[in-house]
Amino acid sequence: MIERYQNRAKAVKDRPLPPVAGEERQKFIKQAEADYTDFALVGSASWSVEEDELVLRIPLGSG
């Protein structure tokens, strides 16, 4: 699952912009940025199973 999110983050980052302009272009860029952030966060997580629950630990800082 983590690898799938890493791949999705890369795909969003590498996705070309469609031929749109103005407000629609800004909406597309904003959504791509949100998608990348979401996928990258989960993709950077470590995981464990604790008390029958999947636990994702997402690093929030560089140190």
Instruction: For 33-56, write each residue's pLDDT tens digit.
Output: 999 999 999 999 999 999 999 999
Exposed / middle / buried, residue 17 (Cβ in 10 Å: 0-12, 13-18, 19+): exposed
User: What does the domain layout of the chain look like in residue ranges?
Assistant: 2-57
Per-residue pLDDT band for 2 (boundaries 50, 70, 90) equals confident
pTM over 0.85: no
pLDDT tens-digit map of 6-41: 988 999 888 888 787 888 888 888 999 999 999 999
How far is residue 6's CA from residue 44's CA, in Å, rounded to a whole number?
7
